[in-house]
Amino acid sequence: MKKEIKIAVALSGGVDSATTAALLKEEGYFVAGFFMQNWSTPIDQRGFCPAVADVATARMVANQLKIPFYVLDFEEDYYKKVVKPFLEDYKKGLTPNPDVLCNKFIKFGRFLETTQKLGFKKIATGHYALIKEKDDIFHLYRGIDKSKDQSYFLWTLTQKELKFTLFPIGGFYKKEVRAMAKKRGLVNADRKDSQGICFIGPIEVSQFLQRFLPKENGPVRDENGKILGYHQGIWFYTIGQREGLGISGTSEPLYVAYKDISTNSLYVVPRNHPWLFAKEFKVRDVSFVQTVPKEALRVEVVIRYHSQPHPALLSLKNGEFFLTLDEPAWAVTEGQSAVFYNKDELIGGGVIDRVLRTRK
């Protein structure tokens, strides 16, 4: 009976997780809500910390649904597994994705492990993605609502996690989820979606970095090495960035194409410059939803959230994975995720490690 199956729902305070809990309870499952306390430090000078409002809203939702509610303190793990690597990668000139780390180590790591020890059979989250089981094999797909699809951030999930995971709203559009929440009178039915860094809140990445990494001025150079201006710290910029470069008076917009850590220099070029395009790159920390392919595999690779997929060949050379795109892609960025798809099915992914592009 469903009543005997205990499901731990990750309640974030948002409408997606609240609707997830409501739907599962209506289906007859024993549901409990859990709020993951991962960050409690104020994110601005006013002392504002979004976690205070988030946990209060999550508790109200649980009370409204008449389900048990618990707060799990994962702050230490979150700092060690997400924030610290995030900052270390930026120091190296990379552009990491904290949401991927958060999913791997916190939501589908500590949360899953902790709730299993408490006797829960499955966890459920408000992710816009789909899990389908066939012949005891779990498949992961993009959510129905492509504008909200979050599968890009879930490429580290394997059979180990998927067999214990539910994504109840993955088959709905966002407007349908809000409508379901309003129909049920959920207190957060009209609450705005969270923005910013995973579990930290509505703060720009550059603002967050400035709290932990020092400003270190350096030259902004053109392709010939001419100094056009000065930046505030090489780790505050990413490949393809145009804004905030500290330069003006150029004949056309310029974009970051190369970060030289050894000289603390940013190199900027026009948008269609060859330095900004790449066709081949190495990926590390590769993970597959099912099994590791034994031969080269045709995939569609997504190199940044909500970007168009690129047809590519995934190959293994001397124990390392490489992606060769059919056509060059713009601003392939080391540290970001490269996620492999077969149409709407997520095959796996990895971290862009070394881009083979033309430059000085």
Rounded CA separation 28/5 (Å):
9
Count of helices and strands (H, E) across the chain? 9, 17
Catalytic residue among 198, 234, 299, 312: 198
For residue 241, give Cα distances in angstroms to 21, 85, 224, 330: 39, 22, 19, 12
Percent of residues in the chain assigned helix, strand, coil, to nearest 5: 25, 30, 40
Beta strands in 232-305 (DSSP E): 255-260, 265-269, 277-288, 297-302
**Residue 277 structure tokens:** 């395009």
- 198 catalytic? Reply is yes
Beta carbons within 8 Å of 21's beta carbon, 6+ residues apart: 9, 11, 31, 33, 61, 62, 65, 67, 124
Catalytic residue among 18, 51, 61, 102: 102
Asked if 252 contacts 273 with a C-beta cutoff of 8 angstroms, the reply is no
**Residue 259 structure tokens:** 């970060």
Residues acting as catalytic residues: 102, 198
